[in-house]
Structure 1
Amino acid sequence: MNTLNTLTTETANTMTTSTTGSTQQAAAPSAATDKREAKKGSLAAFKGLMPFLRPYRRQFAMAGVALVVAACSTLAIPAAFKQMIDLGFGGANGGKSIEHVDLVFLALFAVATVLALATAARFYTVSWLGERVTADIRNAVYSHVVTQSPEFFETTQTGEVLSRITTDTTLIQAVVGTSISMALRNVLLFIGGLVMLFVTSPKLSAIIIGLLILTVLPIVMFGRRVRKLSRDSQDRIADASAMAGEILNAMPTVQAFTHEKIESGRFGASVEGAFATAMRRIRARALLTMIAIVLVFGTIVFVLWLGAHAVLEGTMTGGDLGQFILYASIVAGAIGALSEVMGEAQRAAGATERLLELMSVKSQIQSPAVPLPLPPRAANGAALTLSDVSFSYPSRPDTAALGHLSLDIKPGETVAVVGPSGAGKTTLFQLFLRFYDPQSGSIKLDGVDITQLELHTLRDAIGIVPQDTVIFSADAMENIRYGRAGASDAEVIQAAKLAAAHEFIERLPQGYQSFLGERGVRLSGGQRQRIAIARALLKNPPLLLLDEATSALDAESERLVQTALEAAMVGRTTVIIAHRLATVQRADRIIVMEDGKIVETGTHSSLVALGGIYANLAALQFHSVHVQH
């Protein structure tokens, strides 16, 4: 009876878990993500996974063999119990009974050993497959995303991409590494157990199947409510986590405005809301567990009662009854497990659809099928030519960022681009790097249209110091080495010296091995910019783009960096964007832009004499500086 109780409880728990297990596979990173995650999809979406599954056919075959052996071993156990009861305990001769009991127990142990080995082999193989296929999918998705142009990231949130790479692939991992195996195993157990039920007793089989169907229906119906409450609980937890992350990232602001108590109160309210939702889920699941155990146990007890009468009437042996009950438990457990697998598979199908949708996105910026080479690098840098270039950003096609712009930059020339915000200065840099293609016109580097160059060839020829410096979560040495992955430590240090960064790096606790923090939080704005300049100098490109390269520096650092940049400009073409006109006065040529067009061209002195836009900007800035002094 204890064995029966254990099996019944496990069956009930399996059915209960089927309503909630899929929700608890992976906590979503955000409430929105969890709602997306809960979305179910068509199982046909799994066809899209075939390219990832096909390379591991041998492993799937091995898992299949282990699966069949484990299922057959499980189905053999009730038959062994029947033999033990009928031939052992029911034998007329005591010695013969002991002999049979010994043989049956040895056989039972052998079956259990085979079951253990097969189950371990199946678990290891399918778990390996789940991890391997998930890793392949993550690599494929990430490799695909990093090749997308900035246009893709204008309309796609980074958090959305990360959610698909992490949460959605976790759902697929659960299907490949667990659910497929569980589904096949339980299909085999269900079919085998059902056949053996009818072989043992057709009458009792018809009764118990009907009762189990009536038992499972209310459990499944109530289980939907538990699933919804589980998702709500995850939503509330995600909300609290998102709030905590936002506040922790803004602690200086929170403390500056003395909002510590307010934010603690907000977080506390969010946590209490999550607790209340979790308690509703726990109460519902407790009720579901009670209902499942009562209904399943009641069904089995009722059939056991009928079987006991049949044994007493002599129409059934005790061994047949024991075998019947065990097969009934196996069938009930298989039904509950299949219910769980189907719900999980539907959710994973939705995740697969989202991943395949992401993989189907093609970047508008592609390398040509047959790229042209760049001519050998000239001693004095690269030539850059723009011919009648017009461009509008995809997100605002009706607004021209550049209009019919033509520009010819000679090798070794230093050209400064100035103008009010929104004039199109940074857009020029994005077109040079081919982050976007102009709607009309052409851009040529050393006489070769950049659309005919392989993207890596083009971008390897360009070094850029952006206005918003990106510092990676690594040490100073690796951050500078990002400019040229194969550079030696000595070359990195030399680039840092040229960018006036060596001195402050040496003062860091571990020097060049000092971790700079996430987004470079351990550095000042000027220090971050000097790291970026060192990175560009290490790359040593023929074309150097400086986007407000000295905007975050104090006067002393600006003087040092300006001297370093002037030395670095020798032997290369340089294009400078600057609002501070003091940094562009020594340029060979100054281009003044307004509304995406070139409106003035000349040197500092000639443009001041012209009395136009540049002269007004210069008057305002230099007068402001004079007043401050």
Structure 2
Amino acid sequence: MTRFSDEEFDQRILEFALLVVANALMSCAMSIAIQSLQTRMSANMSVKLFGALLRQDVAFYDNAMTGQLSSRLNNDMRQALSPVSIIMNSFVANIVMLAVGFGICLQSSWRLTVLAFTVLTPVVHISAEFSQWASKLMMSQWTYMADASGAATQALTNIRTVRMFGARDIEMEKYAGHINKSKDVGLLSAWGQGAAGLIAALVQQGASFIILFYGGHLALKHEFEVGSIITFTVLWNRLSSAFTSLNENINQPVKAVSAGQRVFEILDLEPDIPEEEGEAFPEESKQVGIRFENVEYAYLSRPDKKVLAGVTLDIRAGKTTAVVGKSGCGKSTLSKLVLRFYDPQGGAVFLNATELQRMHLLQYRNKVGVVSQDTQLFRMTVTENITYGLRATEYTMEDVERAAKLANADEFIRALPEG
């Protein structure tokens, strides 16, 4: 037995203490780095996704519910990034353990090592098959959750209408229907995951049994020592645990992939009507005439029903023009074409002599004033609502007060608690 002097013993203890401190510092640094990375990724991806949603055509929103889009912005984004910290914390450690352990096992007995890893091959196959199956299930589950979120947002946004028509139970049934579909898919996924885990566990335990069985026969033939078999089995069990953990790390992104697909569907979607391309709106144009020339349009939700069919109309500069007609005849559609929320499917819209589709859309819209029949108020101050769309450097408080007076809103604004 090796004997140490007091000084040597103290030196070993000091070295051990330094290793413990270094390990703690490395763990702390790794934790900070991983959490910082995940936080930065989440912030950057959320901003990019919100920007992608804002740049989509108005037609995109005709067929999308606000709740579904909110679900992608919040739930899908969080789920897509959730495995980052889990994987990075244990993935590298398990890879190192498998590599080092595999080398030690080979050195101990190449025959037992090859036999054990051959038995594990079905586990890899089962995991791959389960990942593909679970990915499809998770995609369905997230779709149902988004539908539920959309139904809830729609009902709560229009709660007065829901109460007015006594439709509370109907809305509840819609929401519960989507949630129950999501629940059924989740339960099926849970059973599938449990079955895959059971098979994998049985195969891995079977590998340990085969090691003991085959190694025992080698020991009986004096080709292998009993102590070496026990050592190999203990080491193999440790490797098996690392393999199981690594397998879980690989399967963990399945949910993230399903959510990530829904996120990247939006990020990769390009609008048909670009807002930052085209000719600059002429600054010297004080008065602009609008001309609809043989315009045709049908909404994508009803492609077989034309709202506008061969419409030709001159709106002269400097004149007040009223468009009247029965509901559904296309009055609102004309205004949406003027704002270029949509492009005509036939004919063209002109500003003076320039076709609207050739104009720089953002510059053009900044020159257009709109008074909608539906009032929209944002959760902001009165000043921020009046100046919506302008930056703080683009107006003065005198401009705000003048606008309030022109809208006959000055008196009731001043009567507010902080008016």
Change (3 A) 1:479 1:343: same
Contact 1:368 1:451 in 2 (8 A): no
Which amino acid in structure 2 is aligned with residue 509 of structure 1? Answer: P
Q: Whole-Å Cα distance in 2 between the matches of residues 259 and 403 of structure 1?
A: 37
Q: Counterpart of 2:318?
A: 412
Which amino acid in structure 2 is aligned with residue 468 of structure 1? Answer: D
Percent of aligned positions that are identical: 27
Q: Counterpart of 1:391?
A: 297
**Of 444, 448, 451, the match for 2:354:** 448
Q: Counterpart of 2:337?
A: 431
Which amino acid in structure 2 is aligned with residue 194 of structure 1? Answer: F
Q: Whole-Å Cα distance in 2 between the matches of residues 404 and 272 of structure 1?
A: 48
Q: Whole-Å Cα distance in 1 between the matches of residues 261 and 402 of structure 2?
A: 50
Contact 1:383 1:446 in 2 (8 A): yes
Task: Report the alpha carbon displacement of residue 415 of structure 1 after superposing the two structures with TM.
Answer: 1.2
Q: Whole-Å Cα distance in 2 between the matches of residues 354 and 217 of structure 1?
A: 27
Task: Report the alpha carbon displacement of residue 148 of structure 1 after superposing the two structures with TM.
Answer: 1.8
Contact 1:367 1:453 in 2 (8 A): no
Q: Whole-Å Cα distance in 1 between the matches of residues 321 and 17 of structure 2?
A: 85
Q: Secondary structure at the match of 2:100?
A: helix
Q: Counterpart of 1:578?
A: none
Number of equivalent positions: 411
Q: Whole-Å Cα distance in 2 between the matches of residues 99 and 249 of structure 1?
A: 76
Which amino acid in structure 2 is aligned with residue 423 of structure 1? Answer: C
Change (3 A) 1:228 1:111: farther
TM-score scaled by structure 1?
0.51
Are 2:34 and 1:123 aligned?
Answer: no
Cα distance per residue 1:247-288 (max 9 Å; x no partner): 766766777789999999999999999999999999999999
Change (3 A) 1:225 1:418: closer
Q: Counterpart of 2:73?
A: 165
Cα distance per residue 1:490-524 (max 9 Å; x no partner): 4223212221222223333333xxxxxxxxxxxxx
Are 2:59 and 1:151 aligned?
Answer: yes
Q: Whole-Å Cα distance in 2 between the matches of residues 262 and 404 of structure 1?
A: 41
Which amino acid in structure 1 is aligned with residue 63 of structure 2? Answer: T
Q: Counterpart of 1:345?
A: 253
Q: Whole-Å Cα distance in 2 between the matches of residues 445 and 327 of structure 1?
A: 79
Contact 2:134 2:254 in 1 (8 A): no
Q: Counterpart of 2:105?
A: 197
Q: Secondary structure at the match of 1:342?
A: helix
Contact 1:236 1:277 in 2 (8 A): no
Which amino acid in structure 2 is aligned with residue 474 of structure 1? Answer: M
Are 2:410 and 1:502 aligned?
Answer: yes
Q: Whole-Å Cα distance in 1 between the matches of residues 170 and 295 of structure 2?
A: 53
Task: Report the alpha carbon displacement of residue 434 of structure 1 after superposing the two structures with TM.
Answer: 0.9
Q: Secondary structure at the match of 2:336?
A: helix
Q: Secondary structure at the match of 1:463?
A: coil
Q: Counterpart of 1:474?
A: 380
Contact 2:277 2:361 in 1 (8 A): no
Q: Whole-Å Cα distance in 2 between the matches of residues 151 and 257 of structure 1?
A: 29
Contact 2:127 2:247 in 1 (8 A): no
Q: Secondary structure at the match of 1:418?
A: coil
Task: Report the alpha carbon displacement of residue 462 of structure 1 after superposing the two structures with TM.
Answer: 0.7
Task: Report the alpha carbon displacement of residue 220 of structure 1 after superposing the two structures with TM.
Answer: 10
Which amino acid in structure 2 is aligned with residue 357 of structure 1? Answer: E
Which amino acid in structure 1 is aligned with residue 274 of structure 2? Answer: Q
Change (3 A) 1:361 1:435: same
Contact 1:190 1:330 in 2 (8 A): no
Map 1:29-178; keep pairs closer than 5 Å.
Answer: 91=1, 95-96=3-4, 107-178=15-86
Task: Report the alpha carbon displacement of residue 362 of structure 1 after superposing the two structures with TM.
Answer: 2.6
Change (3 A) 1:231 1:141: closer
Q: Whole-Å Cα distance in 2 between the matches of residues 414 and 428 of structure 1?
A: 15
Change (3 A) 1:101 1:210: farther
Change (3 A) 1:323 1:476: farther
Contact 1:212 1:332 in 2 (8 A): no
Task: Report the alpha carbon displacement of residue 302 of structure 1 after superposing the two structures with TM.
Answer: 10
Contact 2:136 2:258 in 1 (8 A): no
Q: Secondary structure at the match of 1:416?
A: coil
Mark the runs of 5 or more structure 2 residues left unpaired by the alignment.
none
Contact 1:367 1:452 in 2 (8 A): no
Are 2:242 and 1:334 aligned?
Answer: yes
Task: Report the alpha carbon displacement of residue 395 of structure 1 after superposing the two structures with TM.
Answer: 3.5
- Larger Rg computed on CA atoms: 1
Contact 1:131 1:173 in 2 (8 A): no
Are 2:396 and 1:485 aligned?
Answer: no
Q: Whole-Å Cα distance in 1 between the matches of residues 368 and 202 of structure 2?
A: 73
Task: Report the alpha carbon displacement of residue 433 of structure 1 after superposing the two structures with TM.
Answer: 0.6
Q: Counterpart of 1:461?
A: 367
**Of 188, 200, 203, the match for 2:96:** 188
Which amino acid in structure 2 is aligned with residue 138 of structure 1? Answer: S
Change (3 A) 1:101 1:212: farther
Q: Whole-Å Cα distance in 1 between the matches of residues 148 and 349 of structure 2?
A: 50
Change (3 A) 1:300 1:107: farther
